[in-house]
Chain A
Amino acid sequence: MGWVKSPIHKRAHQNKRYNTATMLQFKLVLLGDSSVGKSSIVHRFVKDSFDEFRESTIGAAFLSQTIKLEKHPDVTIKFEIWDTAGQERYKSLAPMYYRNANAALIVYDVTQPGSLVKAQSWVEELKNKVGDQDLVICLAGNKVDICDEDATAREVQREDAQLYAQEQGLLFYETSAKTGAGVSAIFQEIGERVYQKKGMEVPSSTQARKPLNVELQRPSTNDSTSCCS
């Protein structure tokens, strides 16, 4: 579970030697209260853009982005990102989105203390329902640009959130989707952690083409799904 797709050891050269270029695909889900900036973080990461006004997410949005790991330049990671709505009250729909996720980015707004409380409830839910041994969880305090302009706007102290993250074994970052601060670092770090966590499961080159996840495997050659309707 959690290993979204098998690593594909691409044949980089047509000589006798295969290099170790690896393409991995990870599922990441964003969770957090309404209007904390989840969609803005995703858009900063995927499109390197920011809109002051962004419409509420209904249900969920889906985007993907590919990065190379800085510490492992031969590893390319494709993030499949589920950006969920903040107002799913009883969260009975949320499991559909975090099921089989490799990573969760839980976002709060550093100017809204209530949003950290909500973030903590998401951490608990994930730990209870998914188990953090299968999941890399990152806590992100967004909108630090507001505090940079006006220090009195800060309602959640960095140290408090960081301490909570340490206690819970979470990655922790403060970000600004508006300026881009911390955004790419988060995805680099998550990518590294998931890669490390799952690296030991990477099959040897002889097994590399065999899909590991039955839900998301590539079409097999004897697939019967071949007619239109």
Chain B
Amino acid sequence: MERSGKIEHLVQRYGTREELIKRGVWRGELYRAEEATFLDRGWCWKTLLLDREDELLVTELVPVPTNFEDTGCNYAEAGRLGVRKLTTELVQDHPLMEEDDRLKESISVEETLDIVRLDISRLLLDPVFSDPECKAEMVQILYNYVAHNHTSYKQGYHELCGAVYLQMLEEEGETRKLNTLNIFNKLMAQVRPVFYEETALLQFSKQKFDAVFKLTAPMLRHLLTAHHGLDHAVWLIRWTRLLFLREFDTAYVLRIWDHLLTFTVPVQDLVACCTVVLLIAVTQDLYACEDQGEVISILLHYPQDKLINCVDLMKHSASLYELYVTRQYSDMRGLGENLCKVYNRSWYEKQTQVADHNRLRLEERLKRRVEQRLRK
């Protein structure tokens, strides 16, 4: 179908941005089988995020510099010596003790561009990124993002930006870059301060995520943290920094992103709640784990056959958030229990009937091992 036809259909169907958010995304009308052919995610994201021109980061992109003589940095010398400085030298004092880490980063433009180019060359999100023109556009977008925000580049930005870029592919050259940059910038306004600043990320893990997890699924949390001695941060880093891009297939993740980009719920809260629901959905698998290594294997290679319907995932996550912000903590636990029952039904019923739970765990472990052997 022609793009204009899709857009016309979407405009007629939803009329306003609010309707697109309410019915299209959160009620999941966009994803219904009969509507799937009309889904133009690029248009949806532009409608969600680029409606007000005064909120745009830039309306004109600056070119990527090629001359570093005047930057005041001494990296040109390092370049002549053939020394590649991809990451800065080790610092003696913990830089986060006094101030935010971004303030201490003094990485040069040239170094930044080296890292960005290296990361773009390793971006495997879509074959389109092997095209030199796409690579150059991505470098320019990320350069503009870093320059306009007076921040430094971090690995992971390239992948998030790449996911946005893919939705803008049908736009014309300059518009494609501008729209990608402005959408990426709005997303990063909520993502970067929490997930890319190290202290903030650890705080998110220890406070926000752990609090929601503890209130919703206290026994599962106990299993992971007390029994297996697991620090959430070790696996949460990838989940949060890439907003699930490496955890699930792209189509599924982009639906999650549709919800995140409505900003109906603050991104960090929605990510925390979403993660808790996803953990509850694999309760049975987690209980079958023998040690920390097995738990980590599940968390960093999430069983795709256990993925729940994405619209349901986001509805449950939003409900959890509502209960959390309104301090209805006992209801959070009730919701957690109910979700556990729904998504681990046979196991849940069994574990309520048997007295010896360790025996049940052993059975699950054996069952899992047999399944793993059969898969090999």
On A, residues with C-beta under 8 Å from B are 5, 25, 33-35, 53-56, 58-62, 64, 78, 80, 85-93, 96-97, 112-115, 117-118, 121, 124-125, 155, 214-216, 218-219, 221, 223-229
Closest 6 CB pairs of A and B: A226-B357, A59-B237, A215-B229, A229-B217, A121-B90, A59-B238
Q: Is residue B296 contacting chain A, with contact meaning CB distance below 8 A?
A: yes
B11 CB contacts on chain A under 8 angstroms: none
Contact status A87-B86, CB under 8 Å = yes
B220 contact from A64, A80, A215, A228, Cβ within 8 A: A228
B198 contact from A55, A78, A93, Cβ within 8 A: A93
Bound complex: CA A25 to CA B124 (Å): 33
Which of B84, B118, B119 has the most CB atoms of chain A within a 10 A radius of its CB?
B84
Q: Is residue B293 contacting chain A, with contact meaning CB distance below 8 A?
A: yes
A96 contact from B85, B90, B234, B297, Cβ within 8 A: B234
B237 contact from A54, A58, A125, Cβ within 8 A: A58
A56 contact from B122, B337, B341, Cβ within 8 A: B122
Q: A58-B237, A92-B96 are in contact. Are A87 and B293 (CB under 8 A)?
A: no
Bound complex: CA A223 to CA B361 (Å): 11
Residues 123-138 of chain B, each 1 if its beta carbon lies under 8 Å from chain A, else 0: 1100000000000000
A55 contact from B122, B219, B296, Cβ within 8 A: B122
Q: A219-B227, A229-B219, A229-B333 are in contact. Are A85 and B297 (CB under 8 A)?
A: no
Contact status A35-B218, CB under 8 Å = no
A59 CB contacts on chain B under 8 angstroms: 234-235, 237-238, 241
Contact status A221-B358, CB under 8 Å = yes
Residues 259-295 of chain B, each 1 if its beta carbon lies under 8 Å from chain A, else 0: 0000000000000000000001001000100111100
Bound complex: CA A229 to CA B280 (Å): 8
Bound complex: CA A90 to CA B119 (Å): 19
Residue count of chain B within 8 Å CB distance of chain A: 77
Contact status A90-B348, CB under 8 Å = no
Nearest residue (CB) in A for B355 is A226
Measured between C-beta atoms, what is the minimum distance from A57 to chain B in Å? Answer: 8
Contact status B246-A121, CB under 8 Å = no
Pairs across A and B, CB under 8 Å, 11 listed: A53-B122, A56-B118, A58-B155, A60-B237, A62-B300, A89-B105, A90-B91, A113-B82, A216-B229, A219-B290, A227-B351
Q: A58-B156, A218-B291 are in contact. Are A34 and B118 (CB under 8 A)?
A: yes
Q: Name B's interface SS.
A: helix
B290 CB contacts on chain A under 8 angstroms: 218-219
Measured between C-beta atoms, what is the minimum distance from A3 to chain B in Å? Answer: 13
Contact status A227-B357, CB under 8 Å = yes
Contact status A60-B238, CB under 8 Å = yes
Which of A34, A92, A112, A219 has the most CB atoms of chain B within a 10 A radius of its CB?
A219
Contact status A85-B283, CB under 8 Å = no
Contact status B216-A229, CB under 8 Å = yes
A223 CB contacts on chain B under 8 angstroms: 227, 358
Bound complex: CA A179 to CA B21 (Å): 52
Contact status A34-B155, CB under 8 Å = yes
A91 CB contacts on chain B under 8 angstroms: 90
Contact status B198-A90, CB under 8 Å = yes
Contact status B84-A87, CB under 8 Å = no
